[in-house]
């Protein structure tokens, strides 16, 4: 009899997000007969699901409250529990995979306690740290961590975090980095027509891809631009992604008179995003710890390196694990603009050095961070 596994994840394509891309890339490489996916609902999800052959059922996994003290929280978990129970019965599911601690991990915990179905939980770092600000959510996280059969952390930093701060059992903790499809994210020659279509013609471009959130640090890189402009007048900071900080970042750009040096590109197609990686000069994720929000890994840093780009990232979370520090990328203090300006100016003034670093970056990703490598490791973890 074939064992059936159900992945529960609110974030899943067409919803954008690093964890959603992670699950798509991983589970699309696994057996269709063994894995079923309960994915969150999203705009255009029906059209998207016609483009693939994964066994996906859409479930409303959104709630104003993921706690259990409010009526809305209890109602949410009750509704989702019933919907997931139907899927488990329909497919004879024997194991549950949970996309995060909350809410997916708590749903797995409920099925463990009710029907003794084992669950594996993915840990991203920022998810558990965000929960630490609430006594109620902290209680839920501890229940999830202590009852899971396996905890899959996206980085060693995340594994250390749950061991040191949450007393997670190291014997059930595994590390599985997000990866990159090196057949899709490939280097390309500089192309003036593509750069013009992106709005980058005649510019030396620093690129960031990611949600517009405090922890991502786009604001600090914008603050670094006046200093960078002294040496690189044609510098352009291209920002791909949407989010809650967009208006504040736009106001900051105007305040500093940088309208010609900052380009907000919002959400673009995957094809255009790959072109952006290929045509930029340097990729930056100037992340920092904001309150208790951290960057668990930084998949975009891997994608940029696959396209032969040097990368810089903040000294926070798991970003150091995406690169060979000093050879394929650089970890710097991104809590202030000066170190950002210094490193970006150095790189932008040395295109030959960028090429040399980029070539090493590509080899690094091919060898250790390709999805083919991760899929085989995932299979062995899942079969523990």
User: Residue 237 in contact with residue 221, Cβ under 8 Å?
Assistant: yes
Task: Clarify whether residues 158 and 208 are in a common domain.
Answer: no
Specify the pLDDT at position 167: 94
- Is residue 177 predicted with pLDDT exceeding 80? yes
Per-residue model confidence as pLDDT tens digits over 107-136: 999 999 999 999 999 999 888 888 888 999
d(CA 382, CA 92): 17
In a domain, 123, yes or no: yes
Q: How many whole angstroms separate alpha carbon 265 and alpha carbon 282?
A: 17
Q: How confident is the model at residue 345, as a pLDDT?
A: 98
At 24, is the pLDDT very low, low, confident or very high (cuts 50, 70, 90)? very high
Cis-peptide into 41, omega within 30 deg = no
Predicted confidence (pLDDT) at residue 291 exceeds the cutoff of 90: no
In sequence order, the 6+-apart residues with CB closer than 8 A to the CB of 247 are none
Whether 345 and 229 share a structural domain: yes
What Å distances lie between residue 281 and 13, 165, 203, 312, 380, CA to CA?
Answer: 28, 38, 9, 12, 38
Q: CA 146, 152, 153 angle in degrees (round to 5)?
A: 105
CA 68 to CA 30: how far, in whole Å? Answer: 34
Q: What number is the average pLDDT over the span 209-225?
A: 96
pLDDT in tens, 240-286: 999 899 999 999 999 999 999 999 998 788 899 999 999 999 999 99
Query: By residue range, what is the domain housing residue 321?
Result: 192-368
Q: What is the mean pLDDT of the chain?
A: 95
Q: Is the per-residue pLDDT at 1 higher than 80? A: no
**Can you give the pLDDT at residue 34?**
96
Cα separation of 196 and 194, whole Å?
Answer: 5
Residue 187 lies in a domain: no
Across the range 6-17, mean pLDDT stands at: 93
Q: How far is CA 267 from CA 4, 73, 277, in A?
A: 35, 31, 14
Peptide bond into 14 cis (omega under 30): yes
**Do residue 288 and residue 299 come from a single domain?**
yes
Q: What is the pTM of this model?
A: 0.85
Kindly tell me if the per-residue pLDDT of 239 is higher than 90: yes
Nearest to 218 by CA among 245, 199, 257: 245
- Percent share of the chain, pLDDT over 90: 85
Assigned token pair, 40: 């969150």
Look at residue 151 in the predicted model and tell me its pLDDT. Answer: 98
Say whether both 376 and 323 belong to one domain: no
pLDDT tens column, 337-369: 999 999 999 999 999 999 999 999 999 999 999
Same domain for 10 and 81, yes or no, is yes
Domain match, 93 and 119 both: yes
Q: In what order do the strands lie in the sheet with 173-175?
A: 56-59, 35-40, 5-9, 95-98, 119-123, 150-153, 173-175
Q: Based on the fold, state whether residues 198 and 256 are members of the same structural domain.
A: yes
**pLDDT tops 80 at residue 2:** no
Q: Are residues 32 and 157 in the same domain?
A: yes
User: Which of the two residues, 383 and 334, has the higher pLDDT score?
Assistant: 334
Same domain, residue pair 164 and 222 = no
- Give the total number of structural domains in the chain: 2
CA–CA dist 91, 30 (Å, integer):
17
Per-residue model confidence as pLDDT tens digits over 303-330: 999 999 999 999 998 999 999 999 999 9
- pLDDT score of 66 more than 80: yes
Same domain, yes or no: 167 and 271: no
Cα–Cα distance between 175 and 378 in angstroms, integer? 10
Q: Which among 10, 12, 20, 14 is positioned nearest to 44, based on CA atoms? A: 14
Distance (Å) of CA 290 to CA 135, 153, 222, 300:
19, 21, 17, 19
Question: Is 21 a domain residue?
Answer: yes
121 & 13 share domain: yes
Same-domain status, 128 and 52: yes
CATH of residue 278 = 3.40.50.2000
Average pLDDT over residues 26-44: 95
**184's tokens:** 């899709």
């Amino acid at each position: 009899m074939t064992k059936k596994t159900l992945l529960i994840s609110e974030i899943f394509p067409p919803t954008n997000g690093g964890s959603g891309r992670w699950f798509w890339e991983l589970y699309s490489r696994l057996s269709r007969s063994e894995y079923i996916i309960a994915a969150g609902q999203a705009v255009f999800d029906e059209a998207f699901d016609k483009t693939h052959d994964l066994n996906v059922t859409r479930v409303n996994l959104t709630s104003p409250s993921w706690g259990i003290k409010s009526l809305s929280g209890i109602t949410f978990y009750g509704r989702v529990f019933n919907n997931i129970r139907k899927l488990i019965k329909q497919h004879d599911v024997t194991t549950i995979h949970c996309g995060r601690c909350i809410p997916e991990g708590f749903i797995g915990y409920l099925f463990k306690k009710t029907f003794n179905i084992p669950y594996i939980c993915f840990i991203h770092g920022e998810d558990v740290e965000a929960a630490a600000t609430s006594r109620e959510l902290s209680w839920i996280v501890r229940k999830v961590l202590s009852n899971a059969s396996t905890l899959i952390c996206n980085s060693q930093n995340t594994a250390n975090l749950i061991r040191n701060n949450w007393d997670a059992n190291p014997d059930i903790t595994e590390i599985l980095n997000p990866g990159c499809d090196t057949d899709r994210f490939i280097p390309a020659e500089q192309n003036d027509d593509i750069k013009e279509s992106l709005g980058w013609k005649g510019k030396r471009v620093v690129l960031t891809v990611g949600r517009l959130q405090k922890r991502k640090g786009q604001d600090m890189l914008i603050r670094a631009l006046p200093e960078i402009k002294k040496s690189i007048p044609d510098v352009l900071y291209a920002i791909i992604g949407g989010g809650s900080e967009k208006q504040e970042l736009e106001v900051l750009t105007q305040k500093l008179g940088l309208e010609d040096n900052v380009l907000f590109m919002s959400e673009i197609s995957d094809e255009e995003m790959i072109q952006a990686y290929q045509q930029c000069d340097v990729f930056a994720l100037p992340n920092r710890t904001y309150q208790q929000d951290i960057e668990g890994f930084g998949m975009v840093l891997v994608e940029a390196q696959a396209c032969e780009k040097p990368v810089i990232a903040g000294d926070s979370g798991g970003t150091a694990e995406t690169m060979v520090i000093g050879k394929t990328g650089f970890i710097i203090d991104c809590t202030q603009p000066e170190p950002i300006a210094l490193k970006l100016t150095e790189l932008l003034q040395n295109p030959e050095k960028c090429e040399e670093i980029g070539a090493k970056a590509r080899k690094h990703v091919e060898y250790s961070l390709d999805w083919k490598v991760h899929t085989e490791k995932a299979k062995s973890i899942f079969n523990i």
